[in-house]
Amino acid sequence: MATKFDIEKFNGRNFSLWKLKIKAILRKNGCLAAISERPADFTDNKKWNEMDENAIADLHLALADEVLSSIEEKKTAKEIWDHLAKLYEVKSLHNKIFLKRKLYTLRMSESTSVTEHLNTLNTLFSQLTSLSYKIESQERAELLLQSLHDSYDQLIINLTNNNLTSDLVFDDVAAAVLEEENRRKNKEDRQGNLQQAEALTVMRGRSTERGQSSSHNHGRSKSRSKKNLKCYNCGKKGHMKKDCWSLPKNSNPQGNMANTSDDGDALCCEAATAMEGRKRFADIWLIDSGATYHMTSRREWFYNYEPISGGSVYSCNNHALEIVGVGTIKLKMYDGTTKVVRDVRHVKGLKKNLLSYGLLDNNASKIETQKGIMKVFHGALVVMKGEKIAANLYMLKGETLLEAEASVASCSSDSTMLWHRKLGHMSEQGMKVLVEQKLLPGLTKVSLPLCEHCITSKQHRLKFNTSNSRGKAVLELVHSDVWQAPVTSLGGAKYFVSFIDDYSRRCWVYPIKRKADVFSTIKVFKARVELDSGNKIKCFRSDNGGEYTSDEFDDFYRKEGIKRQFTTVYTPQQNGVAERMNRTLLERTRAMLRAAGLEKALWAEAVKTVRLNREVRIRLKLRIDFLKFWINLLKFFDPGDQSRLNLKFIQIIPSFA
């Protein structure tokens, strides 16, 4: 009896991995050839048909329902295979560049195991191979070594010194890295009990006397009586520090004093071994749930500083550390962005830099911890990350910017990023053209940082082929399409209908509550644009949706003398202008809402804001006056120079007008 192999059904994700698995099944069942062109010398029709039917069955059984429905009309295994490859195996240059950038910038974090890191690398290798970009074993080994954490530097030196005269082999290097990880884990296990005991000793801040065995004491523990208590101010027994008569009368432990957690100090001791090979302990920031304030002893880190007097911080050994100042510090985050931390206390003698978990929680939308990573959210945006280095202790993934560095960092990218967001997350290429024409004041060159909102929001399939024909006058041809929203807008709209003038590419968007509202919206649109332009709509192109094919539509267009054009059923490419316009509008809408941390219910207002008429279009050769033909945009231009845009009048946050 043949062995049965089950693979996860393909649901539209990770096509390259699924393709590898299904090919193995087809090969084992002897029908792999059926997904390719039939060889000319293969004359046995019965055998080929049997092979093709077996391949079709294997493919059908390996597809999820939502994907299976799309290949229902395909008659051969090759047709099915080609259809899936066309839909899900995107072989665009953009996709190849994106994967190569991700591969060559990949870095292993401390919270990631070697096995997880190798899986990530192998997935990228497989995806690039499917795009006809082959990476040899030597280069794969080099990429693995360069992506390892700094703590593996000695291993890298050993491996490269042993292979001076021969090429590195990826499998051998991967095995060596896995072996090194196992060695470290075994070492940590051996030292675990000792470190835990030391950590608990420091965490409780108590002498070993209090932790003696209670085997000699039965019933209520004697440690609860006051005579066994030890004062951490004078060192004598019989009372606690808060009751100590040796404290100065004006010294109130509860007044004007910041706390640091005993747990935090203990865990810092526990993490000392784990911190070897990283940055110096005094250079990193720890996220401490017991800290009242953000605190550091590094005066040179402040770029906005005010000396103060009064206030103390008590460490785990009850040493009072004086607060001498307060100010602002800038941090460079894991993604290259700069974050400002205000009201940071300058504490002399503090041996670690603390970010107060409580203050972060008060100012953030939410804080999540999962798989050793802490994420601080502002809206939907992750603004800060922490990496777990010991139990309940997280190290900030970022570094402090000194005053000069902070100024340079904020000036170099903030203006570019601000223009990018105000222009509806315009592409870097489009911004470069505007800078060359001196349309963006304050920018002389454009080097757009990685915008995670654009990456997340603008993923799409290959674009449709564009037509060479083009309207020769305004309103000679108008394209239209309807898009259904995933959520209802604040105004109750569930759809929007878009209209695009083929000649000028001017776009209009109308949120609507029902598809039945399309007809009344078109009448309003027609009256408006014909009045604005002085021209009449001559031809109207749309798909075959029921909202465009009713009898009232036919009567209306017959009376107005407007020619109708419909696309072929299931061929949205023929309505490519409207399809591409809707895609662009939605990409920028998603990016804007993500960047602003707003709810999806604001999509209607956001769509209005990011319409393409707000850009100076490249294909219109930067004719700003052409935009003024349709709408008064004077408020968006520099009063002193009508050829340049004015930054302060263009809004980032979606307009509610």
User: Catalytic pick from 52, 263, 265, 288?
Assistant: 288
Amino acid present at 424: G
Amino acid present at 26: L
**pLDDT confidence of 192, banded at 50, 70, 90?**
low
Q: State the virtual CA torsion across 122, 124, 126, 128 in degrees, nearest 10.
A: -150
**pLDDT confidence of 544, banded at 50, 70, 90?**
confident
Q: What is the pLDDT of residues 58-90, one digit of tens each?
A: 999 888 888 888 888 888 999 998 888 887 776
* Token digits of residue 243: 């009751």
Tell me which DSSP letter residue 13 carries: S
Neighbouring C-beta atoms of residue 137, cutoff 10 Å? 14
**Whole-Å CA distances, 319 to 296, 322, 460:** 16, 10, 59
Does position 420 have pLDDT exceeding 90, yes or no? no
Higher pLDDT, 163 or 415: 415
* Token digits of residue 341: 């931390």
Strand partners, 641: 638
Q: Which helix (H) or strand (E) holds 16?
A: helix 15-28
Q: Are 543 and 434 in contact (CB under 8 A)?
A: no
Does position 142 have pLDDT exceeding 90, yes or no? no
Tell me which DSSP letter residue 74 carries: -
Neighbouring C-beta atoms of residue 90, cutoff 10 Å? 19
Does position 223 have pLDDT exceeding 80, yes or no? no
Neighbouring C-beta atoms of residue 507, cutoff 10 Å? 21
Higher pLDDT, 132 or 327: 327
**pLDDT confidence of 428, banded at 50, 70, 90?**
confident
Q: Are 298 and 400 in contact (CB under 8 A)?
A: yes
The set of residues, in sequence order, having a beta carbon less than 8 Å from that of 190 and lying 6+ positions away, is: none
Q: How far apart are CA 621 and CA 616, in angstroms?
A: 8
- DSSP result, 414-451: HHHHHHHHHTTS--HHHHHHHHHTT-STT-S---PPP-
Tell me which DSSP letter residue 427 carries: -
* Token digits of residue 594: 């993500």
Q: How far apart are CA 102 and CA 315, in angstroms?
A: 43
Q: How far apart are CA 505 and CA 466, in angstroms?
A: 14
- Which burial class, exposed, middle or buried, applies to 574 when counting CB atoms under 10 A from its CB (0-12, 13-18, 19+)? middle
Q: What is the pLDDT of residues 314-347, one digit of tens each?
A: 765 667 788 889 999 988 887 777 788 888 999 8
Nearest residue to 429 (alpha-carbon basis) of 610, 612, 619, 614: 619
Three-point CA angle 140, 141, 144, nearest 5°: 85
Ranges of H-type helices in 313-402: 357-363
Q: How far apart are CA 366 and CA 363, in angstroms?
A: 9
The set of residues, in sequence order, having a beta carbon less than 8 Å from that of 334 and lying 6+ positions away, is: 385, 397, 398
Mean pLDDT of the chain: 75
Q: What is the pLDDT of residues 242-298, one digit of tens each?
A: 567 665 544 444 333 445 444 444 344 444 444 444 445 568 898 887 788 899 988
User: Rounded to a whole number, what is the distance in angstroms from the first to the last CA of the chain?
Assistant: 70
Strand partners, 331: 339, 400
Q: Which helix (H) or strand (E) holds 56?
A: helix 45-61
Higher pLDDT, 273 or 173: 173
pLDDT of residue 190: 65
Q: State the virtual CA torsion across 156, 162, 164, 165 in degrees, nearest 10.
A: -140
pLDDT of residue 268: 45
Neighbouring C-beta atoms of residue 468, cutoff 10 Å? 5
Question: In 206-221, which positions are buried (b, 16+ CB within 10 angstroms) versus exposed (e)?
Answer: eeeeeeeeeeeeeeee
**Percent of the residues in the chain that have a pLDDT greater than 70, as a whole number:** 69
* Token digits of residue 472: 């020769």
Residue 364: φ, ψ to 5°: -95, 160
Coil, helix or strand for 383?
strand
* Token digits of residue 215: 């085997």
pLDDT of residue 468: 58
Q: How far apart are CA 305 and CA 319, in angstroms?
A: 25
Amino acid present at 118: L
- DSSP result, 149-204: -GGGHHHHHHHHHTTSSS---HHHHHHHHHHHHHHHHHHHHHHHHHHHHHHHHHHH
Q: How far apart are CA 397 and CA 386, in angstroms?
A: 5
Does position 179 have pLDDT exceeding 90, yes or no? no
Q: Are strands 539-542 and 294-296 parallel, antiparallel or unpaired?
A: unpaired
Coil, helix or strand for 574?
helix
**Percent of the residues in the chain that have a pLDDT greater than 90, as a whole number:** 10
**pLDDT confidence of 195, banded at 50, 70, 90?**
very low
Q: How far apart are CA 111 and CA 403, in angstroms?
A: 31
Neighbouring C-beta atoms of residue 20, cutoff 10 Å? 13
Catalytic annotation present for 44: no
Amino acid present at 92: S
Q: What is the pLDDT of residues 455-514, one digit of tens each?
A: 666 665 555 555 556 778 889 999 999 988 889 998 899 999 999 898 888 889 999 999
pLDDT of residue 493: 92
* Token digits of residue 514: 């029902």
Residue 338: φ, ψ to 5°: -110, 130
pLDDT of residue 536: 92
